[in-house]
Amino acid sequence: MTHAPRIFSGIQPSGGLTLGNYLGALKRFAEKQGQVETVFCLVDLHAITVWQDPERLRQQTREAAAAFLASGIDPAQSVLFVQSHVPAHTELGWMLSCVARVGWMNRMTQFKDKAGKNAEAVSLGLYAYPALMAADILAYKATHVPVGEDQKQHVELTRDIAAKFNHDYGVDFFPLPEPVIEGAATRVMSLRDGSKKMSKSDPSDASRINLTDDADTIAQKIRKARTDADPLPGSMAGLKDRPEARNLVNIHAALTGETPDAVCARFEGQGFGAFKPALAEVAVGVLSPITARMNALMADPAEIDRILLAGAERAHAIAAPIVADAREIMGMIRGAR
Ligand code: AMP
Ligand code: TRP
């Protein structure tokens, strides 16, 4: 069966969003709008897999919603909502955790990274998280999932879960969703360490650019970003062993929409003394209007809540009948839809 194309993606409101989230996710989400049906979710139930201060979680959820809206997500064109407002996610999450295998979960590298040596002490939710993520996607029968590189394994697991469900129950019910990982910034790295991804949970604030940073802070963080003393080569091939330099070129390219090779060609022979101020100017030019729009939206939290509640109604209208069908396929007596 061919499934109608539908895009789904989610972001955890577990801290302030970063330039990595903007380039790897938000900017690309906004570009997809209008081409196909788009559904975007603030996944607060994923955020609580690790400790969240309740008041801060509420604040961060509204701030993440403001970041979506400020990045060009239009609630008239896209469905934008909060995961915990739509019960289909937790319900299908349980059903799919009975389809997924423990052995599959054990292969998830994000779990291994997050749990570290502490695997016995982390929450059961952190372990089961990929089954909930599969439910997020499959409750909408989404066909395409734009994400950063770090989420590829989870989307592939979602395909495995969907295929096993279809196979076990002899149906062609769930589509096998494709991860969509494209562009120069599918993995934006830390400004302090070119081997670590830029993350809202990194203890060093200098490692990331936050969407709430002002122009001076952005320029200062770029100026202090770790680099090397060599000039830039004429193409990306010359940056093979220079991860920090490669990262800054990729960020520049993603911000201006050029290819990384074109950026290299333009700065060939110049050092970071010239490149960093140019990058800062581009970053401030793109991010400042977004930050300003976020601040304006955050001044009216009731309006954000109104947009999110309207989004949840639309999300529920799509997901509830799909989950009701899944229940029936699994052998539950038909109940309320
Ligand atoms: P998270 O903040 O972990 O909920 O991630 C939300 C989305 O942003 C996912 O699609 C991630 O893959 C993407 N993302 C997060 N950090 C980065 C990064 N440093 N570079 C590129 N994409 C990222
Ligand atoms: N796990 C994703 C992350 O940490 C967030 C997420 C939850 C997601 N559910 C999703 C992404 C569904 C895409 C589709 O970044």
Rg (CA), the chain: 21
Residue 336: its pLDDT value, please?
Answer: 65
Cα 329 to ligand 2 centroid, rounded to whole Å: 26
Instruction: Summarize pLDDT for 132-147 with one digit per residue, the tens.
Output: 999 999 999 999 999 9
Which tokens is 284 given? Answer: 């401030």
Tell whether ligand 1 has an atom less than 6 A from the beta carbon of residue 58.
no
Nearest to 135 by CA among 103, 180, 98, 184: 98
pLDDT tens digits for range 1-50:
789 999 999 999 998 999 999 999 999 999 999 989 999 999 999 999 99
Q: How far is CA 31 from CA 25, 89, 204, 324, in A?
A: 10, 26, 31, 32
Catalytic one among 114, 152, 164, 276?
A: 114
Give the distance (Å) from ligand 1 centre to CA of residue 231.
Answer: 30
Say whether 164 is catalytic.
Answer: no
**pLDDT in the model for residue 335:** 77
pLDDT of residue 337: 63
What is the band of 160 on the pLDDT scale with cuts at 50, 70, 90?
Answer: very high
* pLDDT for the residue numbered 15: 87
pLDDT attached to residue 2: 87
Angstrom distances, CA of residue 122 to CA of 21, 107, 119, 182, 284: 25, 16, 6, 32, 39
pLDDT at residue number 305: 98
Q: Is the pLDDT of residue 315 over 90?
A: yes
Report how far residue 146's alpha carbon sits from residue 165's, in angstroms, rounded to the nearest whole number. 23
Residue 216 has pLDDT above 80, yes or no: yes
Q: How confident is the model at residue 58 (pLDDT cuts 50, 70, 90)?
A: very high
Is the model's pLDDT at 183 over the cut of 80? yes
188 lines ligand 1 (CB under 6 A): yes
Shortest-distance Cα residue to atom 6 of ligand 2: 10
What is the pLDDT at residue 184? 83
pLDDT category at 119 given cuts 50, 70, 90 is: confident
Give pLDDT tens digits for 251-284: 999 999 999 999 999 999 999 999 999 999 999 9
Query: pTM of the predicted model, to two decimals?
Result: 0.95
Q: What band does 194 get if pLDDT is binned at 50, 70 and 90?
A: very high
What's the rounded Cα separation, in Å, for the pair 105 and 128?
Answer: 7
**Is residue 318 scored above 90 in pLDDT?**
yes
Mean of pLDDT values over 160-185: 96
Statement: residue 180 has pLDDT above 70: yes
Which residue has a Cα nearest atom 8 of ligand 2?
A: 10
Q: State the average pLDDT for the chain.
A: 96
